[in-house]
Each structure stands twice: as structure tokens, then as C-alpha cells.
Amino acid sequence: MGTTQPIRNRQELQNFSSYYKQVKPHLRNYTLVVLGLNTALRISDLLNLRWRSVYDFKKNCFRDHLLIWEHKTGKRNYIAINQNAKNALYLYFMEKNPDPEEYVFSKRTNPYKPLSRSQAYRIIKEDASHTTSEEAISCHSLRKTFGYYAWQEGVQPALLMNVFNHSSFHITKRYLGIEQDEKDLVYLNINL
């Protein structure tokens, strides 16, 4: 399969999400992976986050929600920041002590310039090459993995369609690789 895939194996997902924390410590990269997995944001929207978007500098606390205008769709999106994402952000925030206008995922040489998409891709590919058996992993896999596990946990199809801005559940199923999983089960469960 050449199409970008979600990370379906739970142990591989756990290894993937902790690679830049435990195996090859790098808090920016760790936070990128964790925030991507937990928000379902496209990589372009993740890379454009500034610290003021995730941290309230007046109240000295992390925000409970992200309010963004999606780069691709131009639509406003209001996303809850869960505890795993806040924990990763906290570790990185404490290491960095950033200015509100700095990008969360910035270049090493300039905190006021966002990380490039190609560098984010290399970060994700390196992580996946050490932690997953799936070859078709890219930045978009973070978003697809979020949706895949939401579906596995029983999130209603209409809600997933809304999260991804899809027009039908058929599109969402294909997007998440669920159609192939369902077809595989048919073949594996029929033992004639």
C-alpha cells in the first residue's frame, strides 16, 4: 500500500509516541508527535502553532482548547487539548521557556520561524523506521491514527466525518484504512 496509513498496532503506537522521549530524547520532536496524534491537526496547522495558542501567558497555564483557522479549509476549528498533549507541551515549555510569539515547532536556529514540512516529515519517518512495521507512515499518519483509534473506540461516524470535514462516512472509512481492515476480516474469518 503506497497510501499513508495509520499506526494500527497499539504496541507500535506506544513505541512511536515515546521514541523522542525515551529512545532518542528530543522534546520538540516528542511534542510534535504527541500533539499530532492527540489533535488530528494537519501538519501545516501544527507547524503554524505559536506558544500563545497553547499557553495563556497572563494566567500562566496551558489552554484547554486550541482555536485555529485551518490552513487547508479556511474553517475555524476549536480543539480540546487532552492531558497527554498538555503533558508533552509542559515538558517542552519548561525546557524552552518560550516567548508567546515563538512557534511551538520552530527551527533550531530561529524560534520565530516554523519548522518546515520536509523536516517534520523526516522527524516522523525516523521515528516510524525505528518503531513500526508499517512502511507508509508520514506526517498525515498522525491525523489518520487519531481517527483510526477514535473509530475503534466507538466514536460515531458522523462525528468523525465532522472532525475530518468529510462529506460521507465512506470517504472517512477509506481515509482511515478501515475498508481494507473490514475486507481483511472477511477473508480471515471464512475458513472453508
Catalytic residues: 42, 72, 140, 143, 166, 175
Of residues 147, 37, 21, 149, the one with CA closest to residue 90: 21
Q: How far is CA 1 from CA 5, 9, 134, 148, 155, in A?
A: 8, 16, 10, 17, 26
- CA-angle at 61, arms to 57 and 66, nearest 5°: 85
